[in-house]
Amino acid sequence: MNKSKRKVNIAFWVSIAVMAVAIPATVYFSYLLGDRNLYIASVIIMILAMVPFFVSFEGSKPDARYLAILAVLTAIAVISRVAFIWLPSFKPMAGVIIMIAMSFGPQAGFMSGALSMIVSNIIFGQGPWTPWQMFCYGLIGFIAGFLGRSRILSEKHVIRTSIVSFILVFILSGLVLDTCSVFLMTSSISWQSAIAIYLGGIVPNLTNSLASSLCIFFLLKPFMAILNRLKLKYGLEY
Amino acid sequence: MREIYKDEFATYNPITNIIYFLGAIILGMFFIHPVFVGVSIIIGLIYLFILKKKRALRELLFMLLMFVVISVINPVFNLLGATVLFRLFNRPYTLESLIYGMTLGGMAVAILCWFACYNCIMTSDKFIYIFGKIIPSVSLILSMILRLIPNLTKKTKQIASARSCIGMAGDSSSSRMEKVRNGTLVLSTLTSWSLEGGIIMADSMRSRGYGSGKRTTFAKYRFDARNLVLILVMAFLLTVIIFCAAKGATQAEYIPYLMMSWFGDIYMSLGVLAYAVFLLIPVFLDIKEMIKWRILRSKI
């Protein structure tokens, strides 16, 4: 069961190399164009950073079962966000994504993270923050996939998994989502305004990470049991 | 889940729609000149009110709040500028950086406004129509998810009512721990049920030949002459706008003194005009349609 067929493939590394050229080029052009194009440059960089993951997913020629399972699990992640819409910034979605990533690996983790964000924004409304949110949740899934492979996240250690996911979600949403606010709210980025925005983001990020971590604490065992049973029953090797 | 908006521009091909919105949003982010920002806000709001009628007011409230926050806060951090209005905590609060903040706040409002219009026009099937050709697997999975969400919501209700039917759903007297356990059980049932359904769907897809050849898609959108005409018009206007911007029409400096191109400059006037006409395209289409409808009705 541990042997996984779906490894990160060559297309991924090739496009990583291409992006390693394209992203500095974007930075250079925005530098040439002057100060107010920082935000546009940052959005372009976010989109470019997601390209390798999507290219590798298309390149791996996913079969119907993989697509269907990923679609069902991502839909469940989206529903978990819709269900708690009345509680501000309490979004257990990242928890569901981490569990998907633990079971199906980094690639599935990234795809379900990015797709669940774009789908929930189709419901709640897209905004200039969509690429950032997609990248943030995709990255949470991707890293959780690797942590799951290396057994740091595991269904046998519920407490440790909840704590590690809490830290993972808190750090990544602080790094990516609050950087988005910095670019969106200020133009001439100064240290004071940036620090003010990062500090202001701590409380919502804590709520969000707590929601994900609670979701993992309560759901890890039943959820992983269902997924393992599914794999056993249909002989899936993802 | 989402109402259909009666709008002439919405009946155009998704490619035409996306070019217009990309133009409006990207140019809106680029031009940091008060007049250009003002044009973008006013036309964006007009279009939003055409689309959403009274319900746009609620979004307007949020936009107003954002505008005030950004414009008031900018001078607190940005101390440069020649005209000091007053001193806050012994730091200068300058007119120039207040105006700069207002322009920035206006820009954020304009972007939000265009995104609100985008959300009315670009339905999920239009989104998938555009991306289906570039990323087929991703857009297939996207359309599966979009279809599954109402399906799963329905299944959740079925599970909950079945559980309450056999007296297992708990009631208002049940403790918090029981509620959590109950919710977990419903979610587990939902997950295993829908995953089994997913496997059946996948097997059905495979037996119908999924993956054996090029996948064809159904779309109800045609690319006809009126789309081509509109795209050519938009391309012409965008060229004019970008040409004027390159000639310095959108230049504005705030710090230390206000310095910007004004209407006396031919490129500036032409740029504003082209920008306004470009953004007004959907409004023009709606007006044209309204006039046509009145004429047709008066003939009866």
**Which stretches within B53-84 are classed as H helix?**
56-77
Indicate yes or no: CB of B202 within 8 angstroms of CB of A64. yes
Q: Which of B207, B230, B251 is the last residue of a domain?
A: B207
Q: Does A214 touch chain B (CB under 8 A)?
A: no
Say if residue B102 is in the same domain as residue B17.
Answer: yes
Mean pLDDT by 10 residues, chain A (238 residues): 49 72 74 65 82 84 88 92 73 91 91 92 81 91 91 86 92 85 69 79 88 89 91 82
Structure tokens at B270: 């032409």
Gyration radius of chain A's alpha carbons: 18
With beta carbons less than 8 A apart as the criterion, state whether B82 and B96 touch: yes
With beta carbons less than 8 A apart as the criterion, state whether B176 and A39 touch: no
Handedness of CA A8, A231, A68, B2 (dihedral sign): negative
Domains of chain B: total: 2
For B146, the domain range is 137-207
**Does residue B269 lie within any of the structural domains?**
yes
**Does residue B235 lie within any of the structural domains?**
yes
Interface test with B, best of A67, A96, A183 (most B CBs within 10 A): A67
Q: Which residues of A touch B184 (CB under 8 A)?
A: 218-219, 222
Looking at residue B94, its pLDDT comes to 77
**Does residue B2 lie within any of the structural domains?**
no
Say if residue B71 is in the same domain as residue B122.
Answer: yes
Instruction: State how far the Cα of B78 lies from the Cα of A188, in Å rounded to an integer.
Output: 8
Q: Which domains does chain A have, with CATH numbers?
A: 62-234 (1.10.1760.20)
**Does residue B253 lie within any of the structural domains?**
yes
Looking at residue A111, its pLDDT comes to 93
**Does residue B279 lie within any of the structural domains?**
yes
- Please name the residue of chain B whose CA is at the shortest distance from the CA of residue A226: B192
Instruction: State how far the Cα of A57 lies from the Cα of B19, in Å rounded to an integer.
Output: 27
Angle CA(B8)–CA(B13)–CA(B14) in degrees, nearest 5?
Answer: 105
Indicate yes or no: CB of A58 within 8 angstroms of CB of B191. no
Q: Which of B182, B207, B232 is the last residue of a domain?
A: B207
With beta carbons less than 8 A apart as the criterion, state whether A98 and A80 touch: no
Least confident of B93-102, B116-125, B155-164: B93-102
Say if residue B19 is in the same domain as residue B121.
Answer: yes
Indicate yes or no: CB of A186 within 8 angstroms of CB of B104. yes
3-state SS of B232-245?
A: HHHHHHHHHHHHHH
Looking at residue B81, its pLDDT comes to 67
CA–CA distances in Å: residue A147 to residues A5, A60, A142, A165, B147: 17, 22, 9, 10, 31
Number of other CB atoms surrounding residue A23 within 10 Å:
16
Interface test with B, best of A63, A99, A122, A214 (most B CBs within 10 A): A122
Indicate yes or no: CB of A75 within 8 angstroms of CB of B73. no
Q: Does A11 touch chain B (CB under 8 A)?
A: no
What residues pair up with B92 in beta bridges, in sequence order? B87
**Sole residue written with tokens 């911007």:** B245
Looking at residue A3, its pLDDT comes to 38
The answer to whether residue B40 scores a pLDDT higher than 50 is: yes
Say if residue B121 is in the same domain as residue B160.
Answer: no
Label residue B1 by pLDDT band (50, 70, 90).
very low
Report pTM: 0.82
Instruction: State how far the Cα of B40 lies from the Cα of B19, in Å rounded to an integer.
Output: 16
The answer to whether residue B2 scores a pLDDT higher than 60 is: no
Question: Percent of chain B, pLDDT > 70?
Answer: 91
**What average pLDDT does range B228-233 have in this prediction?**
93
Say if residue B189 is in the same domain as residue B287.
Answer: no
Helix axes A130-149, A93-124, angle to 10 degrees: 160
Interface test with B, best of A100, A107, A118, A187 (most B CBs within 10 A): A187
Q: Which of A77-86, A133-142, B70-79, B260-269 is most confident?
A: A133-142
With beta carbons less than 8 A apart as the criterion, state whether A198 and A178 touch: yes
Q: In chain B, what is the straight-line distance between the N-terminal and C-terminal CA atoms, in Å?
A: 37
Closest to B8 measured CA to CA, from B299, B294, B298, B293: B293
Q: Which residues of B touch A69 (CB under 8 A)?
A: 195, 198-199, 202
CA distance A128 to chain B (A): 8
Instruction: State how far the Cα of B107 lies from the Cα of A40, in Å rounded to an integer.
Output: 13
With beta carbons less than 8 A apart as the criterion, state whether B25 and B118 touch: yes
ipTM, 2 dp: 0.85
Say if residue B124 is in the same domain as residue B231.
Answer: yes
Say if residue B111 is in the same domain as residue B225.
Answer: yes
Indicate yes or no: CB of A76 within 8 angstroms of CB of B191. yes
Looking at residue B195, its pLDDT comes to 93
Cis peptide before B92 (omega within 30 of 0): no
- Please name the residue of chain B whose CA is at the shortest distance from the CA of residue A40: B29
Structure tokens at B38: 């003002």
Looking at residue B5, its pLDDT comes to 61
Q: Which of B178, B207, B236 is the last residue of a domain?
A: B207
Indicate yes or no: CB of B148 within 8 angstroms of CB of A71. yes
pLDDT tens-digit readout, B169-185: 766 677 777 777 788 88
**Does residue B214 lie within any of the structural domains?**
no
**Does residue B3 lie within any of the structural domains?**
no
Indicate yes or no: CB of B144 within 8 angstroms of CB of A68. yes
pLDDT tens-digit readout, B181-227: 788 888 889 999 999 999 999 999 989 888 787 777 777 888 889 89
Q: Does A125 touch chain B (CB under 8 A)?
A: yes
Instruction: State how far the Cα of B114 lies from the Cα of B43, in Å rounded to an integer.
Output: 9
Residue type, A50: M
With beta carbons less than 8 A apart as the criterion, state whether A82 and A152 touch: no
Q: Does A230 touch chain B (CB under 8 A)?
A: yes
Say if residue B72 is in the same domain as residue B183.
Answer: no
Structure tokens at B199: 């496997």
**Does residue B52 lie within any of the structural domains?**
yes
Long-range contacts of B58-66 (CB under 8 A, 24+ apart): B59/B112, B59/B116, B62/B112, B63/B109, B63/B112, B63/B113, B64/B109, B66/B105, B66/B108, B66/B109, B66/B112
CA distance A53 to chain B (A): 11
The answer to whether residue B256 scores a pLDDT higher than 70 is: no
Looking at residue A9, its pLDDT comes to 63
